[in-house]
Structure 1
Amino acid sequence: MRAIADFLLITAAFLLPWWVVLLCAAALFFVFERFFELFLVAFLMDLLFAVPLPRFGRFEFVLSFGSVFLYLILNAIKKKMRI
């Protein structure tokens, strides 16, 4: 089940906008225990599509960095919900 979800999430990284992929990853975070694939998909998308942005100091891995914060926020929510 998890392998199928990972395959679909990686496929979505190639086909869908970044925000849709993060929403799907956030939903899967609540389905699976310790969903570290969120980092993998964000890093993959940064490697494929990221460009240096002047507003972030020419930093290219904005999505990967943001996925760390998303993981921490989702982890806190998951603990409060006791899922």
Structure 2
Amino acid sequence: MSLAKPMMRGLLAKRLRYHLPIAFGLSFLFAAIFKYTVAEPRKKAYADFYKQYDSVKEFNAMREAGIFESVRPSGE
């Protein structure tokens, strides 16, 4: 009694026909999950922040704090 020989010819193609669609499907699924759980909330947070951001006010506050070396505070 001997064991049957394993099928070696065409093994890669047979396995790829099964695993490749699964790999693509899972990658698209996880990309969509990442987009809607991480990227979209992050974009919304940036949009909300810059909706009320006043760059001139922020610049003047940093200038008054002495952060910039090339810009003097307005009181001097």
Instruction: Tell me the TM-score normalised to structure 1 length.
Output: 0.29
Write 1 or 2 for the structure with the bigger share of helix.
Answer: 1
Larger Rg belongs to:
2
Instruction: Tell me the TM-score normalised to structure 2 length.
Output: 0.31
